Amino acid sequence: MTEAVMERAATSGAVPAVPPRRPLLAAVTLLTLVGAELFSVLTSPPDRDMGNLEKILYIHVPCAWMAMTASLFVFLASVGYLWKREERYDMIAAASAEAGTLFTALTVILGSIWARPTWGTWWTWDARLTSTAVLLLIYLGYLALRAATDDVDRRARWSAAVGILGAINAGIVYESVVWWRTIHQIQSSPSSMGIMYTWGLRLNAIAMLLVLVYFITNRYRSFCLIRATEMMAEDAVLGRRAP
Q: Is residue 133 part of a domain?
A: yes
Distances 60 to 20, 51, 108, 125 between C-alpha atoms, Å: 31, 16, 8, 18
Residue 39 lies in a domain: no
- Write down the pLDDT at residue 10: 46
- The answer to whether residue 23 sits within a structural domain is no
pLDDT tens string 86-123: 999 999 999 999 999 999 999 999 999 998 888 889 98
The whole domain housing 131 covers 2-7+54-238
58 lies in some domain: yes
- CA-angle at 95, arms to 92 and 101, nearest 5°: 135
10 Å CB burial of residue 71 (0-12, 13-18, 19+) is buried
| 34 falls within a domain | no
pLDDT tens digits, one per residue of 198-224: 888 999 999 999 999 999 999 999 988
- The per-residue pLDDT for 1 is 46
Q: Is residue 142 part of a domain?
A: yes
Judge whether 190 lies within some domain.
Answer: yes
Section 144-163 average pLDDT: 93
Quick check: 64 pLDDT over 90?
A: yes
Among 19-33, 68-82, 85-99, which is the least confidently predicted range?
19-33
110 inside domain = yes
Number of domains in the chain: 1
74 and 97 Cβ atoms separated by less than 8 Å: yes
